[in-house]
Amino acid sequence: MFNKFASYLSALALAVMLTACATPGQQPGEMDIRTGIIEQINPVQLQSSHHAGVGAVVGGIAGLGLGSLIGAGTGRDVAMVLGTVGGAFAGNEIQKKYDQPVPGQQIIVRTTNGVLISVTQATNPNLFKGQRVYVEGNGDGARVVPR
């Protein structure tokens, strides 16, 4: 009798724990879509999507490869070190040209339930004040698109 009661109690405890761990709301792959009207659009500068340091790493590797082709022995080692340092410096300078800020816009949308939402995204010339829009997603992934 005790074993049967213990197994039922264990099953109940497991069910309660699994229910507590379940996440309410969105399922994976679903996206929030809200509707609203644009109240304000402000121009902003967004950071470049290039990864910092990639130019230096690629340049250093290329310099190492070129330095290894020069000389032999100690002279070759010195050429490899100089090639790595010079390549890293050159790669970093080249990457700086591509790390310029990107034009964007901060869009303030009043949703149909009256809540104000601010979304910062790349510039979309098709958006204007007073336009009916969809706000897709949430958090950093939110985007405003025309209705």
| CATH code of the domain covering residue 131 | 2.40.50.590
Mean pLDDT of 122-126: 89
Range(s) of the domain holding residue 70: 54-98
The verdict on residue 2 lying in a domain is no
Residue 94 has pLDDT above 80, yes or no: no
Residues 33, 66: one domain? no
The verdict on residue 34 lying in a domain is yes
CB-count exposure of residue 83 (10 Å: 0-12, 13-18, 19+): buried
Residue 125 has pLDDT above 50, yes or no: yes
Residues 94, 59: one domain? yes
The verdict on residue 3 lying in a domain is no
Residue 119 has pLDDT above 60, yes or no: yes
User: In terms of pLDDT, which residue wins out, 52 or 83?
Assistant: 83
The model's pLDDT over 74-88, given as tens digits with 9 standing for 90+, comes to: 888 888 788 888 888
Residues 43, 106: one domain? yes
The verdict on residue 82 lying in a domain is yes
Query: Cα angle vertex 139, ends 133, 144, to 5°?
Result: 15
The verdict on residue 11 lying in a domain is no
Q: How many domains does the chain have?
A: 2
Residues 84, 109: one domain? no
Residues 115, 88: one domain? no
The verdict on residue 32 lying in a domain is yes
Q: pLDDT-based confidence at 23, cuts 50/70/90? A: very low
Contact between 2 and 79 (Cβ < 8 Å) = no
The verdict on residue 68 lying in a domain is yes
- Mean of the per-residue pLDDT values of the chain: 77
Long-range Cβ pairs for the range 122-131 (8 Å, 24+) = 122/46, 123/43, 127/38, 127/41, 128/38, 128/41, 129/38, 129/39, 129/40, 129/41, 130/37, 130/38, 131/37, 131/38
Tell me what pLDDT residue 22 has.
Answer: 47
Backbone torsions φ then ψ of 138, nearest 5 degrees: -150, 165
Starting at the edge strand found earlier in the chain, the sheet holding 116-122 runs 116-122, 102-111, 33-46, 132-136, 143-146
- Cα 37 from Cα 87, distance rounded (Å): 51
